[in-house]
Amino acid sequence: MAAPVTISPGLTQWELQAYVEQAAFSSGADKLALALGDGRIALIDIPGGEASFVKVHQGSCLGIAAHPAGGFLSGGDDGLLAYTSLDGTVSEVTRAKGQWLEHMAASRDGRTLAVAAGREVILLNLEVGSLANYGPHAGTVSGLALSPAGGVLAVTHTGGVTLWDLDSQGEPIKLDLRGMNLAPAFSPDGSYLAMGHQENAVHIIDLESRKVFGLAGLPAKPGRLDWSHDGRHLLHTGTKAVICWPVPECFQENPAPVAFSVQEEARMSALAANPRIPFAGAGFSDGTVLLAELKRFAAYPLEIVPGSPVSALCWSAQGLHMACGMEDGRAVLLDLGEMLQAG
């Protein structure tokens, strides 16, 4: 059992002894789950900080998401999609032999979950317990996103993106974009879909006109994208600073982003925007974690000992807690209210 260590007011750390792949909060934000590289899931109570572990996968646990009824769903490189209850009971949901279940996307209300399995996508209606397959796609699925209203599933892959209308039985919309596309992210109002590209670029699609805008010449491949809570700015990883592209101003010629808090020796490796207020968490390859304020474009480093790349970041749906995971097996929980109250 890993004991919690208070770093500073509002900041608590655990030693989980394995690479942290992903993190997710329960629907009520009273439990934090972390997917670990040795196949375990760490379950942490909020508040209290008691941590327990459940061995779920034979290899690595690659993806995790909250179940609306409690507990968590996880995917692994053993092809298993499993449900783990809050008392640690594990049950198999389905199995995709020979596939890595890494990419997962949950709807805002938590009732729908999409899981990539090779060139297919498994879609679960968690409210009624049904399961359906979508695909095959033109290439191996490299990213998933569900629209804010939950009615559209975006699937990125080599050669483009496929948009499935989940309320109809018709053929999907296929948009051709050469090369490998990844990390799709809908804007909060569902008007735009942004995605990264292997050639150090970001594409933004206006979903009404289907016009595609490109942001090229980035310093590295953007492996993770996210939007500010009001949709005014698009952020991405792979940079040596916090980069905010104003939308729709960035669709004009020679667009210029807002850049702040430059890191000399590290690139951003993890990113999560707060869903309620103008803040974002930005994790870097040297272990630095910044709390970025997107109204004044300022950033504040959290008092975390650097040294190991940040591998996972996520906010609770209420925007009050942020979880950080490190490659060296540390996990850190930020209680934003407690930290701000302490000054």
Please write the tens of the pLDDT for every residue from 154-186: 999 999 999 999 998 889 999 999 999 999 999
Average confidence (pLDDT) over 28-35? 94
Q: How many CB atoms lie within 10 A of CB 164?
A: 21
Q: Is the pTM for the entire model greater than 0.85?
A: yes
Two structure tokens written together for 252: 């004009």
pLDDT in tens, 183-222: 999 999 999 999 999 999 999 999 999 999 999 999 999 9
Q: How far apart are CA 229 and CA 109, in angstroms?
A: 16
Q: 3-state DSSP call for residue 141? A: coil
- 112-129 confidence digits (pLDDT tens): 999 999 999 999 999 899
Whether pLDDT at 87 is above 70: yes
Q: From its phi and psi, is residue 177 left (phi > 0), alpha (psi between -120 and 50) or beta? A: beta
Distance (Å, whole) CA 310 – CA 302: 12
**CB of 133 within 8 A of CB of 123?**
yes
Predicted confidence at residue 253, as pLDDT, reads 87
Q: Kindly report, residue by residue over 128-147, the tens digit of the pLDDT.
A: 999 999 999 999 999 999 99
The contacts of residue 306 (CB under 8 Å, 6+ apart) are: 286, 287, 288
Taking only the tens place, the pLDDT of each residue in 90-102 is 999 999 999 999 9
| Cα atoms in the 13 Å half-sphere on the side-chain side of 219 | 12
pLDDT value of position 243: 96
Using DSSP bridges, classify how beta strands 72-76 and 61-66 pair: parallel, antiparallel or unpaired: antiparallel
Type and span of the H or E element at 337: helix 336-342
* CA 145/CA 150 separation, integer angstroms: 9
Residue 1 pLDDT class (50, 70, 90 cuts): low
